[in-house]
């Protein structure tokens, strides 16, 4: 068996020589000047623009009794030129406020975007959305819900949110990923994770005995 991979370098091998604010609005943009060690034994200096936003949290709402997932549809400016539509079908998700924990965000956003109150939260993973130019990390969870009680239009009016809730059979959601109809990273990751752990999750949330589910 091959040795387990570990990074060749650490944060101590990078020096930030300058940090210049470029824009501050809903998001932030900075220019970093950095010098870091190289694999050949020297150093290299580069300048990079860095998109800066707080960490985000997404939660896949799963009804194990009805075998459905609950997704939300909303307009996304980043998809303005999408060949299908600027409206995207996604997880319930939101950005972490200062001092918030990821689990708190998942519960808050489930209430705001889908009218859902969550019990157990199953951690899936934490990943970098685009490490070549973004500071953002995304935390992902799965939680059981009763989809029969969910639906309608939600969101915070003072934030300009207009969110439609959809309850879909899990197999239909899996097929939409395979067909490219669901094409945003966090939703793809969680649905493929659910596809891997589907049977064990149903047993975990339907039965009396808890079963370990590994991310």
Query: Tens digits of per-residue pLDDT, 173-186?
Result: 999 999 999 999 99
Residue 71 lies in a domain: yes
Query: Tens digits of per-residue pLDDT, 123-139?
Result: 999 999 999 999 999 99
Q: What is the number of domains present in the chain?
A: 2
Contact 135, 31 (CB under 8 A): no
pLDDT at 212 over 60: no
Residues 93 and 149: their CA atoms lie apart, in Å, by 19
Residue 18 lies in a domain: yes
**Among all residues, which ones are annotated catalytic?**
159
Strand 137-144, strand 43-52: pairing: unpaired
> Any idea which residue has 């075998």 for tokens?
67
Residue 4 lies in a domain: no
pLDDT at 170 over 50: yes
pLDDT level of residue 108 (50, 70, 90 thresholds): very high
What is the pLDDT at residue 2? 65
In this structure, the answer to whether residues 125 and 163 fall within a common structural domain is yes
What is the pLDDT at residue 207? 53
Residues 14 and 205: their CA atoms lie apart, in Å, by 45
Residue 198 lies in a domain: yes
> In what order do the strands lie in the sheet containing 28-37?
14-24, 28-37, 43-52
Q: Which two tokens stand for residue 75?
A: 């307009």
In this structure, the answer to whether residues 131 and 150 fall within a common structural domain is yes
**Domain range enclosing 30:** 11-52
In this structure, the answer to whether residues 148 and 194 fall within a common structural domain is yes
pLDDT level of residue 210 (50, 70, 90 thresholds): very low
Bridge partners for 71 per DSSP: 166
Phi, psi of 95 (to 5 degrees): -95, 140
In this structure, the answer to whether residues 114 and 175 fall within a common structural domain is yes
pLDDT level of residue 161 (50, 70, 90 thresholds): confident
If you write DSSP's letter for every residue of the chain in order, what string do you get? -PPPP--S--GGGEEEEEEEEEEESSSEEEEEEEEEE-TTSSEEEEEEEEEE---EEEEEEEETTTTEEEEEEEE-GGGTT-SS-SEEEE-EEEEPPTT--HHHHHHHHHHHHH-------EEEEEEES-TTTB--EEEEEEEE--GGG--SEE--GGGT--EEEEEEEHHHHHHHHHTTSS--HHHHHHHHHHHHHHHHHHHHHHSSS------
Residue 19 lies in a domain: yes
Q: Which two tokens stand for residue 135?
A: 């500071």
């Amino acid at each position: 068996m091959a040795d387990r991979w570990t990074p060749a370098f650490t944060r101590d091998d990078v020096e930030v020589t300058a940090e210049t604010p470029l824009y501050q609005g809903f998001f932030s943009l900075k220019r970093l000047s950095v010098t870091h060690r190289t694999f050949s034994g020297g150093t290299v200096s580069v300048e990079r623009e860095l998109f800066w936003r707080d960490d985000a949290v997404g939660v896949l709402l799963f009804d194990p009794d009805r075998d459905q997932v609950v997704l939300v549809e909303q307009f996304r400016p980043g998809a303005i030129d999408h060949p299908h539509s600027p409206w995207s079908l996604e997880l319930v998700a939101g950005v972490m406020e200062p001092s918030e924990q990821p689990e708190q965000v998942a519960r808050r956003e489930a209430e705001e975007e889908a009218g859902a109150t969550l019990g157990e939260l199953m951690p899936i993973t934490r990943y970098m959305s685009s490490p070549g130019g973004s500071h953002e990390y995304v935390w992902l969870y799965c939680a059981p819900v009763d989809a029969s009680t969910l639906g309608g239009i939600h969101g915070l009016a003072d934030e300009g949110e207009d969110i439609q809730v959809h309850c879909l059979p899990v197999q239909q959601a899996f097929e939409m990923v395979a067909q490219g109809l669901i094409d945003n990273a966090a939703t793809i990751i969680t649905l493929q994770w659910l596809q891997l752990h589907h049977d064990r999750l149903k047993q975990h949330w339907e039965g009396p005995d808890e079963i370990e589910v590994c991310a």
